[in-house]
């Protein structure tokens, strides 16, 4: 697992909710996941407020379960990147994976999801790991 994720303790996370708690601890402030309508093509978004972090997930464009959790994992990596090296430019958004930084974030989100799956029951581990082949 990548040092950024390991440094936040995410190598021990057993759920996306636990991963959110660990990232909040790293940031020293609350982190909340909220569902809402983000508009066409936007499945997730991280907003940093002075007193908390907010991860928005578009429930209309995101399937429940693994897909939703992966969107949250992707945004958590952005939060950790900001904690390590400063926030991204205001209004930063992507609509593809042409940007190498976004490909890296997506790879780390996949690593986090695989790690979470590996801590679950045998049945959930097999099902989850199959999704990331």
Could you tell me the residue range of the domain that residue 35 belongs to? 3-131
| Residue 127: predicted pLDDT | 53
Considering its fold, how many domains does the chain have in total? 1
3-class DSSP state of 108: helix
| Residue 41: predicted pLDDT | 84
| Residue 105: predicted pLDDT | 94
Residue 107 burial (CB count, 10 A) = 13
Whole-number Å distance between alpha carbons of 92 and 90: 6
| Residue 128: predicted pLDDT | 55
Residue ranges in the chain whose pLDDT is less than 50: 121-123, 125, 133
Q: 115: which 2 tokens?
A: 């790690």
| Residue 123: predicted pLDDT | 44
């Amino acid at each position: 697992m990548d040092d950024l994720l390991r440094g936040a303790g995410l190598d021990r996370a057993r759920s996306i909710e636990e991963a959110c708690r660990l990232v909040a601890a790293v940031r020293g402030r609350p982190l909340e996941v909220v569902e809402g309508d983000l508009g066409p093509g936007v499945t997730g978004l991280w907003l940093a407020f002075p007193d908390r972090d907010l991860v928005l997930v578009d429930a209309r464009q995101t399937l429940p379960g693994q897909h939703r959790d992966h969107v949250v994992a992707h945004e958590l990596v952005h939060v950790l990147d900001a904690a390590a090296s400063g926030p991204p430019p205001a209004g930063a958004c992507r609509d593809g994976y042409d940007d190498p930084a976004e490909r890296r974030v997506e790879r780390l989100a996949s690593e986090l999801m695989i790690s979470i799956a590996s801590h679950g029951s045998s049945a959930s581990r097999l099902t989850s790991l199959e999704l990331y082949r």
